[in-house]
């Protein structure tokens, strides 16, 4: 158990809908990262927040947005969902701002878009 929690574990929804994924980082970690992992694909970095501020952006679609709250938990919002958005979404956290250090991963949220 990494200490990073994510909810929900599974989410099934229809195309065109909007969902929110939630992540709580390890105690003391200020950085939160969001990743997408499609079937048989590698991890795709989406976005990083550090202490409430956006710090780095990867291949995140405009339909997706995220934020980090004062209590450091983070939410990833996915809207106008398409079939291709079906994937595992991971949240990871680390102590430092620098994203090149060890990151601790949550158990993931499996999103299925029908």
Measured between alpha carbons, how far is 17 from 2 in angstroms, rounded to an integer? Answer: 31
> Which of the residues 63 through 92 are near other proteins (CB under 8 A)?
88, 90
> Which of the residues 90 through 109 are near other proteins (CB under 8 A)?
90, 97-108
Under rule CB under 8 A, residue 56 binds other proteins: yes
Structure tokens, 33: 């990262």
Cβ 76 to other proteins shortest distance, Å: 16
Measured between alpha carbons, how far is 57 from 13 in angstroms, rounded to an integer? Answer: 26
56 and 99 Cβ atoms separated by less than 8 Å: yes
Residues that bind other proteins (CB under 8 A): 2, 33, 41-45, 48, 55-56, 58, 88, 90, 97-108
């Amino acid at each position: 158990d990494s200490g990073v929690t994510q909810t929900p574990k599974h989410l099934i929804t229809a195309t065109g809908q909007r969902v929110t994924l939630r992540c709580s980082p390890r105690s003391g970690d200020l950085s939160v990262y969001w990743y997408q992992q499609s079937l048989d694909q590698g991890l795709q970095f989406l976005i990083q927040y550090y202490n409430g501020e956006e710090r780095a952006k990867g291949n995140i679609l405009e339909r997706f947005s995220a934020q980090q709250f004062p209590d450091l938990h983070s939410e990833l919002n996915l809207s106008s969902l398409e079939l291709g958005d079906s994937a595992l979404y991971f949240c990871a956290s680390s102590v430092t701002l620098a994203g090149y250090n060890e990151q601790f991963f949550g158990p993931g949220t499996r999103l299925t878009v029908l």
